[in-house]
Structure 1
């Protein structure tokens, strides 16, 4: 795994974003003044991680490219451009200057593109057909889809079309990556997410129920250290409810973004102590067999020096102090991601 006498368990980074400099203007959130407004490709990722021998690969998550649901297929151009970009990574066929090569292809274990979930099952089916055309030989690596709801209006997750789309994903064997934000959006997002999952699974046979992979612990406010604080209680309550469904998994990722600046720059042990109330809850609710390690690179680097390695040490500290068994630690570092995304056959 890395430091000291810790075991060198295989690592799958379950949550990273990549984009070339030539496509920066397609990102909905990244203007010229943004600290991440530059190429973030595999060469930069390799530098950030130090390319440890234990890193088996990563799962790519869509980067919220510009789109327009109202325009139908005409609004899909930039997300489909991202699918083409990931195809070049997965097949090891870069364009000049894109920052990756044939040697990086094996690291791309799974791809989770954007999808127009609110548009309903019929539109979603047409969209995935287009994804297959653009992905070509890399289509088998597409294991699920994401439509970020953290910045969307109330009720988005509960629309008939959204629920239809989730049920379609379940029938087709795709997972849904769920991105909600307690810190910036409010506790209603978590309450709505619980209701959404219930609606998506209601009356559906277990085998066809869509799997939900929850990003970044639902983004709690990590300036709150008091377990009796109403914000913490709301988050904890949602974690218990979300974990009751056996087809939900949780990414131990994205925490730097929700920390106060003073904590981001603190030593690893201090960060771990601040996170301990949250880590206790996720272990009690989801358990190590439904928790997966993720870095949220390059988002994790904003305001944090050597962020990928630092987060790895925090998670390592968690595994050590929680006295997790070898099997439990392997699940967090790689096994849960393999199970949730169904990628074991892709790694052989």
Structure 2
């Protein structure tokens, strides 16, 4: 069971209340339209309580902070993303502004940072942004920057296939960074999966092995978990894409984000019921990528929407069930819970 293995949560989001207006998705009535801090994350993972003084899960080594979709005006305005990097700096150095909900002690939980970057603008502008981002981050936080993300799930078809985008990805590879891939089959259809396959192929074409950018696929590529039949064309297309994507040894998958794709009536069900309902998808991921390229991630606090404050613990139980049903060895379980994240993001802890 996972209680015997260190845990790295490979996918969480954090943001202070003072910067809510910079979040592209945040409206006053949004269920996540208030501060999400390390203190709340500690409480969400705690096995002993739910107050702000709670200690995190005893096996939780730390987390990887993924960018939270700041406004950027089509990548032309970098104010919001650079402001997020300044927040990341305060977190990584343990120097919060008053009321931000983290402390100097929490800095050790921050194992990796994945900010936004304007990959779509091509290598020249991307390089300019990286220089500004490094200056904004400072040496301590910049040493924790392991990769970058530019969400494709809400962009026009073909956005990740432009020559500029592909050359931007190649620049990240030359600099040793990973790229987090956010696509959405559930709402955008199979074309998102097909383009992800082509994007990876083109980004690696003609590139020496040591300079190929590694890809970390978020949230199982957001499949439609409302499907009830494995003969549904959407499930078949998703399953085919998973095995195709896994053929590239420099692709990894986050076992995360499933709660957002569930039908509403299932979100409140016990962990066992959810596990049973989504087992076909979980089984495909483990079969395709294996534990050495699959990593645990919670997608906190997004996972709490419609599920509740116990969402992290519920997902933790579900992933535990995956390990048990798959009959993973202790070594393979250790990879899924933390080893794969350390390898993909080059984390030493």
Instruction: Tell me, yes or no, whether TM beats 0.5.
Output: yes
Unaligned runs of 5+ residues in structure 1 are: none
How far 1:330 moved relative to its partner? Answer: 0.5
Match of 2:206 among 199, 203, 208: 203
How far 1:69 moved relative to its partner? Answer: 3.8
Partner of 1:318: 322
Match of 1:65 among 65, 70, 78: 70
- Check conservation: 1:58, 1:110, Cα contact below 8 A: yes
Once the two structures are superposed, the pairs formed by residues 46-61 of structure 1 within 5 Å of their partners are: 46-50=42-46, 51-61=56-66
Unaligned runs of 5+ residues in structure 2 are: 47-55
Q: Deviations over 1:238-292 (max 9, x none)?
A: 1011101000000000000000011111111111111111111111110110000
Q: Deviations over 1:301-347 (max 9, x none)?
A: 00112100000000001101111000110000000000000012xx2
Once the two structures are superposed, the pairs formed by residues 165-314 of structure 1 within 5 Å of their partners are: 165-305=168-308, 306-314=310-318
- Check conservation: 1:13, 1:57, Cα contact below 8 A: yes
Residue 110 of structure 1 aligns to a residue whose secondary structure is: strand
Partner of 2:7: 11
The normalised TM-score by structure 1 is 0.96
Residue 109 of structure 1 aligns to a residue whose secondary structure is: strand
Structure 1 stretches of 4+ with a deviation exceeding 3 A read none
Instruction: Tell me which moved more, 218-227 or 243-252.
Output: 218-227
CA distance in 2, matches of 1:299, 1:283: 23
Confirm or deny that 1:33 pairs with 2:35.
Answer: no
How far 1:210 moved relative to its partner? Answer: 0.4
Partner of 2:100: 98
Q: Deviations over 1:108-131 (max 9, x none)?
A: 000000000110001111100001
- Check conservation: 1:69, 1:119, Cα contact below 8 A: no
Instruction: Tell me which moved more, 326-335 or 219-228.
Output: 219-228
The normalised TM-score by structure 2 is 0.95
Match of 2:81 among 79, 83, 87: 79
CA distance in 1, matches of 2:12, 2:290: 23
Q: Deviations over 1:113-168 (max 9, x none)?
A: 00001100011111000010000021000010000000000110100110000000
Residue 120 of structure 1 aligns to a residue whose secondary structure is: helix
- Check conservation: 2:225, 2:261, Cα contact below 8 A: yes
Classify 1:173/1:89 alpha carbon distance in 2 versus 1 (closer, same or farther; 3 Å): same
In the comparison of the two structures, how many residue pairs are matched?
338
